[in-house]
Amino acid sequence: MAEILSGKLMSEELTRDQARRVAEMKEQGIHPGLAVVLVGEDPASQIYVRNKGIACETIGLYSRTVKLDKDIPQAELIKAIQALNEDPLIHGILVQLPLPKHLDEEVVLASILPEKDVDGFHIDNAGRLFTGQEGVVACTPKGIMYMLKQAGVPLAGKEAVVIGRSNIVGKPVAMLLLGEHCTVTICHSRTQNLKDHCRRADILVAAIGKPHFVTADMVKPGAAVVDVGINRVDGKVVGDVDYEAVKDIAGYITPVPGGVGKMTISMLMENTLEAACRQAR
Ligand code: NDP
């Protein structure tokens, strides 16, 4: 039976520590602030934005939600971001994705100042990660590494397999695992013999977006299985891993809900605090 890596418990501990750090920062005259830009009224995005606001409030961060019309022209959205770039009350800026189709995500993200890009999606920060330089690391991959390290999962020299090659999860988590000296394989929809790759993995990260995709026969006994997926099935949230079957084979497993998702928000708070400290210096 696998050890359950509880994002809920780890994030609760982080929240206590972050609240203490925010209080200390305020005593030194630093009031960390996060702006979340929400374009349109996508119901899932609204829930995510609300949860981010609650997380800010819990640790004492100043938070501002900038709600913009779904039809906003790109130039106006960029103007709004530039105003936040220049706003001394704001240390971190997050543009909630996905954006409406008429907006070019890459151009919009590139308009955020890299030092305020607390999502770590700016090309500057992605490039820093790729070249092993210090920068803002994307929240979900950062949270995954935090969970693995907290649990003491051995990484150096181990086989890591990441299923998914998105810019926000698959690629950055693969770079972070490489940085910890794992031997990394990235799989995707065109990968041949996917099961064989997965069965070699000491660390298996599933970031696909397909419910129960990773089955027990794809998992090496004792492996650390990280389930990034968030899928809604019959009104319930489930991951990309067949949790019930895989938990009896894996050495470590993250649940959904209560796993990686919780850490993503914690790491957003962490990135905002770090950004505020850097900007204060
Ligand atoms: P994307 O849709 O951007 O990427 C999915 C990846 O999975 C792609 O690289 C795709 O391959 C690959 N894939 C799809 N089908 C298969 C298949 N049959 N075999 C192998 N690979 C396949 O998703 P994201 O990376 O943005 O997100 C992945 C999941 O994680 C989603 O469920 C999302 O909701 C969740 N998520 C959770 C977060 C959290 O905080 N817990 C944060 C971010 C995302 P290809 O490139 O070839 O198309």
Residue 146 lies in a domain: yes
Same domain, 147 and 105: no
Q: How far is the CA of 227 from the centre of ligand 1 (A)?
A: 11
pLDDT value at residue 148: 98
pLDDT in tens, 184-225: 999 999 999 999 999 999 999 999 999 999 999 999 999 999
On whether residue 90 sits in a domain, the answer given is yes
Instruction: Tell me, yes or no, whether 96 and 159 share the same domain.
Output: no
Task: Confirm whether 12 is domain-assigned.
Answer: no
Query: Which CATH number covers residue 154?
Result: 3.40.50.720
**Residues 143, 109 share a domain:** no
Give the domain range for residue 58: 29-113
Count other Cβ atoms within 10 Å, centred on residue 72: 18
Residue 133 is assigned to a structural domain of this protein = no
pLDDT value for 16: 98
Tokens 């520590």 found at:
17
Query: Measured from the CB, is residue 230 less than 6 Å from ligand 1?
Result: yes
Please state, in angstroms and rounded to a whole number, the distance separating the CA atoms of residues 84 and 86. 5
Above pLDDT 90, what percent of the chain?
99
Residue of 48, 99, 171, 230 best suited for mutating to test ligand 1, as the one with most atoms within 8 Å of CB: 230
Same domain, residue pair 51 and 98: yes
To test the ligand 1 pocket, which listed residue (162, 188, 264) has its Cβ within 8 A of the most ligand atoms?
A: 188
pLDDT for the residue 281: 84
Per-residue model confidence (pLDDT) at position 32: 98
- 8 has pLDDT over 90: yes
CATH code of the domain covering residue 36? 3.40.50.10860
pLDDT tens digits, 148-176:
999 999 999 999 999 999 999 999 999 99
- Domain assignment of residue 125, yes or no: no
Which of 95, 113, 131 corresponds to the end of one domain?
A: 113
| Alpha carbon distances (Å) from 62 to 25, 51, 134 | 12, 14, 25
State whether the beta carbon of 214 lies less than 6 angstroms from ligand 1: no
Query: In terms of domains, do 57 and 107 share one?
Result: yes
Task: Name residue 125's beta-bridge partners.
Answer: none
User: Would 72 be classed as within a structural domain?
Assistant: yes
Q: For residue 57, what are the CA distances in angstroms to 18, 19, 22, 120?
A: 11, 10, 11, 22
* Residue 148, domain member (yes or no): yes
172 CA → ligand 1 middle, Å: 13
Res 30 pLDDT > 90: yes
Query: Region 60-65: what's the mean pLDDT?
Result: 97
pLDDT of residue 104: 98
In a domain, 239, yes or no: yes
Q: Are residues 146 and 101 part of one domain?
A: no
Question: Could you report the per-residue pLDDT of 110-152, keeping only the tens digit for each?
Answer: 999 999 999 999 999 999 999 999 999 999 999 999 999 999 9
Q: Pocket of ligand 1, candidates 189, 204, 227, 236: which has the most ligand atoms within 8 Å of its Cβ, to mutate?
A: 189
Assess whether 191 and 91 both reside in one domain: no
Determine which of 45-49, 55-59, 74-78, 260-264 has the lowest per-residue pLDDT on average: 45-49
Please report the atom of ligand 1 found closest to the CA of residue 259: 41
Q: What is the pLDDT of the chain when averaged over all its residues? A: 97
Amino acid 254: pLDDT: 98
Instruction: Verify whether ligand 1 is closer than 6 Å to residue 231 (CB atom).
Output: yes
- How remote is the CA of residue 164 from the centroid of ligand 1, in Å? 5
Tally of domains in the chain: 2
DSSP 163-227: E---TTTHHHHHHHHHHTT-EEEEE-TT-SSHHHHHHT-SEEEE-S--TT-B-GGGS-TT-EEEE
3-class SS letters over 140-174? HHHHHHHHHHHCCCCCCCCEEEEECCCCCCHHHHH
Residue owning tokens 């660390």: 203
